[in-house]
Amino acid sequence: MRLIVMLLSFGVTSQVWAGELPKPVGNVLLTLSGNIKNTNQDGKAVFDIASLEKLGMVSFQTASPWYNGRTTFTGIPLQKLMDHVGAKGSVVKVTALNDYTTELSLSDFKKYNVILALKVNGEYMRIRDKGPFFIVYPYDSIPELNNQIYYSRSAWQVSRMNIE
């Protein structure tokens, strides 16, 4: 069963899924598990590029230790992704393709407008270039983000997230 609830607030419309999410038609590149309410495959939420892009993309520029100068990142706001899957909890354990893991506070996503970047400077990210997904904070827009704590939370080659 699929139910879309429309929320109207200050003229802004957003969709919140309840129940079963649409199934991706392309290659599954991201899996969310753990304390989530909305799923589409064996108690998990799986996504291809197209199903993520349908959530709505945003872009911002920021300086980072991984690129020279300010770089434009485009991706899905992680708060929007967490709302979409009905995530409840306080910690997100992120695992990359190379098994690198890091833990992020679920509250970071809303507080800092963190994105799951799919593109860098307008181009889709290839696996060898930190893709397919890279967790990016707006490092230079908030001084407290410009340090090793937040850099270590910025996993690239993201493939799995477990919400606890």
Contact 82, 161 (CB under 8 A): no
Mean pLDDT value across residues 48-54:
97
**Residue 150 contacts by C-beta under 8 Å, 6 or more apart in sequence?**
137, 139, 144
End-to-end Cα separation, the chain, in angstroms? 25
pLDDT digits (tens, 9 = 90+) for 131-150: 999 999 999 999 999 999 99
**What's residue 2's pLDDT?**
37
Query: Token pair 């679920």 is at which residue?
Result: 106
Measured distance CA(138)–CA(109) in Å, rounded: 11
Number of other CB atoms surrounding residue 6 within 10 Å: 8
**pLDDT at residue 20 in the model:** 82
CB 51 within 8 A of CB 75: no
Q: What average pLDDT does the segment 62-86 reach?
A: 96
DSSP 3-state assignment of 72?
Answer: strand
Which residue in 145, 147, 76 sits closest to 108, CA to CA?
Answer: 145
* Residue 12, pLDDT above cutoff 90: no
Give the mean pLDDT of the chain.
Answer: 90
- Residue 139 CB: number of other CB atoms within 10 A? 19
pLDDT above 80 (res 14): no
State the number of CA atoms in the 13 A half-sphere of 159 facing the CB: 11
136 phi, psi to nearest 5 deg: -130, 130
pTM (predicted TM-score): 0.87
Q: Position of tokens 């799986």?
A: 46
Separation of alpha carbons 28 and 6, rounded Å = 27
The Cα–Cα gap between 143 and 161 comes to 27
